[in-house]
Amino acid sequence: MTFRSPIRHCRNCGSAVVYRIPDDGDTKQRAVCPSCHTIHYENPLNVVGTVPYLGDRVLLCKRNIEPRWGKWTLPAGFMELEESLAEGAARETTEEAGALFELEGLFSLLNVVRVGQVHVFYRARLLSDSFAPGHETLEARLFSEDEVPWDEIAFRTVKETLECYFADRRRGRFDIHQIDIR
């Protein structure tokens, strides 16, 4: 099942749109305004975050918001307009964990096709073990691999990213991981 957040009204003139294949040679159904003929495209949302680490431990945040209130996650959230992927990841880490860190390289890119999202995580070297979580986080805490509450991880993208991180750490080399979740 494909996720679709339907567009109901034209952003230009306010008329009700219809879903059809546009007459411009397109091959997919789009929201088309029958009044002003504007074609509205629906694109995936970007979720950006980090894998903050200090030594052999990673920083996880316990969610204080839905969905998945009370579950553990990496600091991440929706990318905002007028910011790069890295800027968004850094902002989310600061907002959710209140962590001091140095952003490192791109680590994972996960396509979550079913819900129309792309999740991107960077590695982030923590400069301190003191955290000041924001209002979206109940608790921010460091975990070694064997301490991670694996059954309490909020999202599959986070679990997959953590599994890749710890596997790379054991190998002594970090790669970029691309994963499709259907």
Domain ranges (residues) in the chain:
1-42, 45-181
Coil, helix or strand at residue 80: coil
Tokens at residue 140, please?
């921010």
Fold of 1-42: Ubiquitin Ligase Nedd4; Chain: W; (2.20.70)
> For residue 2, is pLDDT > 70?
no
Residues 110-153 pLDDT 10s: 999 999 999 999 999 999 999 999 999 999 999 999 999 999 99
Architecture of the domain spanning 45-181: Alpha-Beta Complex (3.90)
Report pTM: 0.89
Alpha helices in 6-125 (DSSP H): 85-97
> For residue 1, is pLDDT > 50?
no
Strand partners, 9: 16
Give 37's contacts (C-beta < 8 A, 6+ positions apart): none
